[in-house]
Amino acid sequence: MQGFGKWKRLIQLWKQLDGGYTLMLVPHDGRSISKKDLHTKQMKKVATWFGAVALGTAGVIVLLSSMLYVRNKEANELAAYRAIKAQQEQKLQELAKSTEAVQKQLAVLHKIENQVREQMKKSGMELPGKSELTEKNGGKGGPSKTKVSDLVVLQEQNALLQKNLQASTHDWDNLLASIKAENYRNEVTPNLWPLDGGYISSDFGSRANPFDGYSSDYHPGIDIAENYGAPVYASASGYVQRAGWYGGYGKYIKISHDYGYATAYGHLSSIEISAGDYVSKGQIIGYVGSTGYSTGPHLHFEVLLYGEQVNPRRLIK
Ligand SMILES: [Zn+2]
């Protein structure tokens, strides 16, 4: 309101000018006083002219500066936009590169997987099926120089890669489970020859009684002739069910394996394990002897499946 008061006074002064004024210049060096009559009409004209010029100039200045401001602002915005766009382009190219790298890695993974499958086929293992996704891995073309429109392509590629990797991981999990199961089955299947050497002196099944040479006898295992004291190995991993003297078998070991299998070892000279022990396939469990109902140093070896003796030679590799 103070500013408004000033204007009010100025307008009053302007109105008072109606009578006219005389401007006097009084020099201090004694020269004569010069006078100038100021007529209201003239003064108002001059003032109006000055006002108009000032207003016009101010208007031009405002217009120019606002134009300059807008232009400058637009230029800044454009520069910022270009910088962002350049950054985005770079990011896209990096994304394209990383996608390509992942694809290469995936190809390597598939190659290894196929090699493992081939190797396993050779050893007669049954494998879980390959998922369809890993087979349908083919794509088309590929951007040499990334554009913004390639973003969609990259997104699709990455989505496909992700699916592919998931499927591949699933395959590998299955493969691993399969190998583990197969290895375990092999571990507990009595297919390891229980001696370093030796030869079969008496086969499984019907035979002539070894003591009289003519009466019929059923042999529930195989006799392997070997030097006295030769090490005897567990034919498969399992728990020792029995370890000690057992009638005509002499010093005897029976091991219970998984999948219904059991093995028995007779006529040993000594026993190296105890009932209740867990023994690993290939572990020394005793030594060849001639204890019990025996004609000379040999190992009587039996394989049982669900309590029934079967021919051990069917399993031995
Ligand atoms: Zn025998």
Partnered with residue 157 across adjacent β-strands are none
Distance 184 CA to ligand 1 centre (A): 29
The counts of H helices and E strands in the chain are 4, 14
Distance 185 CA to ligand 1 centre (A): 27
How far apart (Å, rounded) are the C-alpha atoms in residues 262 and 281?
Answer: 13
pLDDT at 156: 84
Residue whose pair of structure tokens reads 């003239």 in the numeric block: 42
Distance 196 CA to ligand 1 centre (A): 18
Check pLDDT > 90 for residue 284. Answer: yes
How far apart (Å, rounded) are the C-alpha atoms in residues 139 and 152?
Answer: 15
Distance 296 CA to ligand 1 centre (A): 11
Distance 292 CA to ligand 1 centre (A): 11
pLDDT at 132: 47
pLDDT 10s digits, 101-118: 888 888 888 888 887 887
Q: How far is CA 234 from the centre of its chain?
A: 40
Residues with beta carbon < 5 A to ion ligand 1? 223, 300
Give the model's confidence band at 81: pLDDT under 50 very low, under 70 low, under 90 confident, else very high.
very high
237 contacts 249 by C-beta, under 8 angstroms = no
Q: Hey, what are 94's tokens?
A: 């990096």
Higher pLDDT, 261 or 19: 261
Q: Hey, what are 111's tokens?
A: 């190659």
Residues 6+ positions from 236 with CB-CB distance below 8 Å: 187, 188, 189, 190, 191, 192, 255, 257, 261, 263, 281
Give the model's confidence band at 94: pLDDT under 50 very low, under 70 low, under 90 confident, else very high.
confident
Distance 219 CA to ligand 1 centre (A): 6
Q: Hey, what are 116's tokens?
A: 């493992």
How far apart (Å, rounded) are the C-alpha atoms in residues 213 and 91?
Answer: 90
Give the model's confidence band at 131: pLDDT under 50 very low, under 70 low, under 90 confident, else very high.
low
Distance 231 CA to ligand 1 centre (A): 17
Distance 300 CA to ligand 1 centre (A): 4
pLDDT at 275: 97
pLDDT 10s digits, 200-239: 999 999 877 766 666 678 899 999 999 999 999 999 999 9
Check pLDDT > 60 for residue 137. Answer: no
pLDDT at 142: 53
Distance 136 CA to ligand 1 centre (A): 58
How many Å is the Cα radius of gyration of the chain? Answer: 54
Percent of the chain with pLDDT over 70: 87
168 contacts 111 by C-beta, under 8 angstroms = no
Distance 294 CA to ligand 1 centre (A): 8
Lowest pLDDT segment from 22-31, 158-167, 190-199, 285-294: 22-31
Residue 311 DSSP SS3:
coil
Q: Hey, what are 185's tokens?
A: 């089955």
Q: Is the pTM of this model over 0.85?
A: no
How far apart (Å, rounded) are the C-alpha atoms in residues 297 and 289?
Answer: 5
Distance 256 CA to ligand 1 centre (A): 19
